[in-house]
Amino acid sequence: MYGGENNARMSAAEGGSFQEKADRYRKVIEEKRQLTAELSQKNYNKAVGAGVEVLTGSAAFLDDHRILVTYPEGNTEELYGKRIFINTGGTPFVPPITGLKESRYAYTSEGMMELETLPEKLLIIGGGYIGLEFPSYYTNFGSQVTIVQDGEAFIPREDEEVSAAVLEHMTAAGMRILRKAAVTAVRDENGKARAS
């Protein structure tokens, strides 16, 4: 949703030309940034308020019980822990597709959430949960979206009826879904990424 208090019920993706939607899309990304920064600050304050010492830096193991923290300024600190809990999350997997890593127009889910320019056309590799979240909102904004899924099954972890219903809904909404198709190469051409 976009529009603050005055038109909070109106979807940012509703109505207007592609350019108008692209302008609103840019504002949505900006609002998202502000919101996540605010939430992050709130969580930080909460943790500190509860007595947690939060160090903002990058950690690496020196051995089983010692961690080296490197701060953004470059200075380091060594910490010892009898027990150390690792909560470092995950990073997006970039599949070994020829030219994908090198493409200037290929994004992971993290990169997509920072993309300020609404793409006219968007190809999504993979029809899992995260791969499906993006097509829906970009389609709502007016992008032409194609999803490539290498297996026959769409959202393979879901029950067949659920995946069939989602497939029907997404196709009706205008998304093009290619199954049993794998992207094997990507190359940049005329300011776009071209997949084959």
Phi first, then psi: give them for residue 111, nearest 5 degrees.
-65, -35
Write down the least CB distance from residue 151 to ligand FAD, Å.
Answer: 21
Task: Pick the binder of ligand FAD from 58, 98, 171, 184 (CB under 6 A).
Answer: 58
- The residue among 121, 195, 117, 134 whose CA lies nearest residue 170 is 134
Contact indicator for 50, 25 with CB cutoff of 8 Å: no
- CB nearer to ligand FAD: pick between 49 and 89: 89
Residues 83-102 that bind ligand FAD (CB under 6 A): 87-89
Contact indicator for 122, 146 with CB cutoff of 8 Å: yes
Task: Pick the binder of ligand FAD from 36, 45, 76, 109 (CB under 6 A).
Answer: 109
- The residue among 59, 55, 81 whose CA lies nearest residue 68 is 59
- CB nearer to ligand FAD: pick between 86 and 172: 86
Query: Does 130 sit near ligand FAD (CB under 6 A)?
Result: yes
- CB nearer to ligand FAD: pick between 20 and 38: 38
Measured CA to CA in angstroms, residue 108 lies from 65, 92, 105, 113 at distances of: 34, 6, 10, 9
- The residue among 178, 196, 142 whose CA lies nearest residue 17 is 142
Query: Does 59 sit near ligand FAD (CB under 6 A)?
Result: yes
Write down the least CB distance from residue 84 to ligand FAD, Å.
Answer: 12
Residues 147-166 that bind ligand FAD (CB under 6 A): none
Q: How far apart are CA 51 and CA 162, in angstroms?
A: 45
- CB nearer to ligand FAD: pick between 115 and 192: 115
Catalog residues that contact ligand FAD under the rule CB under 6 A. Answer: 58-59, 87-89, 109, 130
